[in-house]
Amino acid sequence: MEESGKKKLGIALVVLAGIVYFFVFSIPLPKELVFSPTWSLKLSGPLALEAPAQQPAPADASARGQKGQADMAKAPSKPLVSAPFIKGDAAENSGLIPFNFGKLFGYFSRDGKLGFSQGLPYGLALSRSAYVAYDQTPESLVLKGPDGADRLKLNETGYPFYSGERLFMMRPGQNSVAELDSDGRPVWQREFPSIITAFASNPNLAVLGLMDGNLVGIGSKGEELIKFSPGGSRIPGIYGCAVSPDGELVAAISGLDQQRLIVLEKRTTAYRVTFHHWLSSDFRRPVSMAFTPDSRYLVYEEPDGFGIYSRASRSESHVSSWTVKRLGYSLPGRDILLVIEGQGGDRKAVLGASPQGRRMFTVPFNAADGFLAEEDSALFLGMAQNDGSSEIIRVDLREE
Amino acid sequence: MKSAQKELLFFAPYLVAASFLSAMSWPLDAPTPAATFGTFAQGRYLNGMELASEGVLVHPAEEGELVFAYDTSRDSAVLPSTIGSYAIVQHPRDMVGLYAELAAGSVSSAPVKLKTESVLGVAGQSGLTRGPGLFFGVYDRRAGRWVNPVLLLPPLADNSAPAIRSVQLTGAANRFKLGDSKILPQGTYTVSADVSDVLSAAWTRNNAAPYYIRLMIDGEKTAEFTYDVASVREGRLIISEKAPGNIEHYLEADGKLLLAKRFFSHGRSIIELVVRDYAGNESRMSWTLAVQ
């Protein structure tokens, strides 16, 4: 009798524990992230352009976040609305988004109007406000606006490039760089003892990596703010570098045998090393790395995927993936990092990963080259085919 | 005799270095210099030499390890390269070889361990070069400076002496070209020279730098530059440890070398200029002036 009572009591306790657990410790299922294509803009050749195609019905083409996949390339893309090209002042004021993928570059607007599109030249410096397209041995360098109109001639020798909205000039010899002002005149210029192998900047700091293993930071007036040699490896060298948009962090991948990740943080008077991590990589070429727009995470290329450094936890994690084609994006307003991964041939995907290194979703597409831009809560996915045709799709995000 | 001894002493370190370091071999067959170390081109000194060639394989000058490979067809989106596609090789003795302006698509980041018969790429025309070929530079990691590759490589056949095109004296109000005038008003003048190595390549840079320049005025060595190393001083790459740091103090706008600034006093003055190229060919000219 007593034994039976104990048994009943045990069962009751188990049931009670189950009820408590259900109400207290249960975790609600996460909302699904829905990717809704809004419009597609076909760029059918270097100069033949079409108006955007509105796509009002996203449900059948949406990617179910964290659960499944959706082939964005299958989304219907018939043009429904004819949109005029954006010209003149309208181009400057409309917040055009620059693109550069496949064999084309140009500008488009958030609502799917094409501002300008042109075949890729030998070299291109591209920003939101201007661009310089140039030949291999340019006789002149002309800075143009998003409408394609000439703005000014750069009286410089070298190859221009934009980092954000700052215009720099890589001078002959690859060991000298200058920043140009809005009139095309050098704000500062520096010649370095050895070859420049890496570069990154934010509005106030330009960071250069050199073949001799030095990492140099130059302020907006040309003053030297950082001079640092990571060392620790058998062969010194800087293979990639990045600076956070808020200027608080600078990162570099340095050295060979063994390669390592170095993160410097801005202190009162100088940048100090706050994190370093030995890498399994053995890159002997430029390495891609970038901070997310909110400066919270650093994403860097690794041989079998990419690494993520978290500023808050000062730790790194790894995401296994196919070959990373482009990185440095984050899903607006969410702790999700995005890269474009190449899955062999023309198979590519937008891969979303958590900062902890978990693959969360992939959005596959078929293209020879892919491109991603983000603005507010919208993503813009560019897909270029081998025949020269290209398409940009706007993808809005929402939770369900 | 004393002057010759001094000269020998000056060159001794490089001769010793060359005897030890000549393990390097030319990185391509039939090397034909199109621009020499120290040539002033596109607003800067060349920190290596350009060899005119096209379509031939480029090999490491010495065994080593590939440490960096940049190919314009693959990497230009990351950072543009004005030296085109290039490979950087770690050689023995902390020497680093830069092999640049290679054909786009010919540079790979493998193999890593390199022998002199390994292939780094194909001589081509990438970056801001004037013609097809190879840019070859040698960087001394320990000293943090570039070394003239001819110091480390087997000598090239070259029978053409460098050219002394003109030497000019520029005063506050007038300019005299030596040879045209034998009379000089007393005063302070800068001495500038237009000299150039004579190269036989299919394409060349203008005013190829010689290897050595010496200016003597009245038997006194007034200026001496050896194009042996290049290092950065005050944010600018300069050639020769003895050269002024500021290019504007060393070069005129037209590329002539500013060798000295000197007061010429009443009497006779003898100016002598000696110029040698990388192969040891020498040109020597002297002028006698009556200073009034």
Instruction: Read off the pLDDT of residues A223-234 as tens digits, 9 standing for 90 and up.
Output: 999 999 998 999
Quick check: is B134 in a domain? yes
Q: Return the CATH number at B74.
A: 2.70.70.10
B197 shares its domain with B139: no
B129 shares a domain with B11: yes
Which residues does chain A have within 8 Å of residue B109's beta carbon, measured at their own beta carbons?
Answer: 283-285
At B109, the pLDDT band (50, 70, 90 cuts) reads: confident
**Structural domain ending residue among the three candidates B100, B117, B151:** B151
- Based on the fold, state whether residues B72 and B200 are members of the same structural domain: no
Q: How do residues A42-66 score in pLDDT, each as one tens digit?
A: 986 544 334 444 443 333 333 433 3
Q: Which helix (H) or strand (E) holds A13?
A: helix A2-20
Which of B121, B151, B181 terminates a domain? The answer is B151
Q: How confident is the model at residue A34 (pLDDT cuts 50, 70, 90)?
A: confident
Note down the domain range covering B235.
163-291
- Structure token digits, residue B245: 């740091």
Phi-psi region of A66 (alpha: psi -120 to 50; beta: other; left: phi over 0): left
Lowest mean pLDDT among A34-48, A180-194, B71-85, B199-213: A34-48
pTM, full prediction = 0.85
Does B158 map to a domain? no
What confidence score (pLDDT) does residue B173 get?
87
| B169 and B93 fall within a common domain | no
To the nearest whole Å, the CA of A189 is away from the closest chain B CA by 8
Query: Rounded to an integer, what distance in angstroms lies between the CA atom of residue B52 and that of residue B69?
Result: 21
Domain count, chain B: 2
Asked, for residue B156, whether it belongs to a domain, the answer is: no
Indicate the burial class of A135 (C-beta count within 10 angstroms; 0-12, 13-18, 19 or more): exposed
Beta strands in A194-330 (DSSP E): 196-201, 205-210, 215-219, 224-228, 235-243, 249-256, 260-266, 271-278, 289-291, 297-302, 305-310, 315-320, 323-330
The Cβ of residue A188 has, within 10 Å, a number of other Cβ atoms equal to 17
Mean pLDDT score, A186-195? 93
| pLDDT given at position B65 | 97
Question: B275 and B172: one domain?
Answer: yes
What's the whole-number mean pLDDT along residues A321-334? 75
Shared domain check, B205 and B118: no
Residues B177 and B119 in one domain: no
pLDDT tens digits for A76-101?
332 222 233 333 344 444 589 999 99
Of A137, A157, A284, Cβ closest to residue B68: A284
CA angle (B146 as vertex; B144, B150 as ends), nearest 5: 145
A-B contacts (CB, under 8 Å):
117
Q: What pLDDT shows up at residue A60? A: 31
**3-class SS of residue A383:** strand
Give pLDDT tens digits for A360-386.
888 899 999 989 888 877 889 999 998
A239: contact with B, CB 8 A cutoff:
yes
CA distance A287 to chain B (A): 8
> CA B274 to CA B216: how far, in whole Å?
8
> Is residue A380 less than 8 Å (CB to CB) from chain B?
no
**Final residue in a domain of this structure, among B107, B123, B151:** B151
Helix, strand, or coil here: A242? strand
Interface test with A, best of B102, B107, B128 (most A CBs within 10 A): B128
Same domain, B24 and B77: yes
Range among A214-218, B169-173, B204-208 rated most confident: A214-218
Residue linked to tokens 């190393």: B229
pLDDT band at residue B137 under the 50/70/90 scheme = very high
Nearest-CA distance B167 → chain A (Å): 29
Provide mean pLDDT across the span A249-270: 95
Using a CB–CB cutoff of 8 Å, tell me whether A237 touches chain B.
Answer: yes
Q: Is the pLDDT of residue A298 over 50?
A: yes
The answer to whether residue A204 scores a pLDDT higher than 70 is: yes
Cβ partners under 8 Å of residue A108, min gap 6: A41, A96, A97, A99, A114, A115, A380, A392
Q: In this structure, are residues A332 and A310 in contact, taking their beta carbons and an 8 Å threshold?
A: no
Using a CB-CB cut-off of 8 Å, the residues of chain A touching B129 are 137
Identify the band that residue A348 occupies on the pLDDT scale cut at 50, 70 and 90: very high
Of B255 and B43, the one with more pLDDT: B43
User: What are the residues facing B45 on neighbouring strands?
Assistant: B40
Domain-located, residue B147: yes
Give the CATH number, domain containing residue B194: 2.60.40
Q: Is residue B194 located within the same domain as residue B100?
A: no
Does residue B157 sit within a domain? no
Report how far apart, in Å, the C-alpha atoms of B225 and of each of A169, B10, B241, B258, B278 are: 31, 11, 8, 11, 13
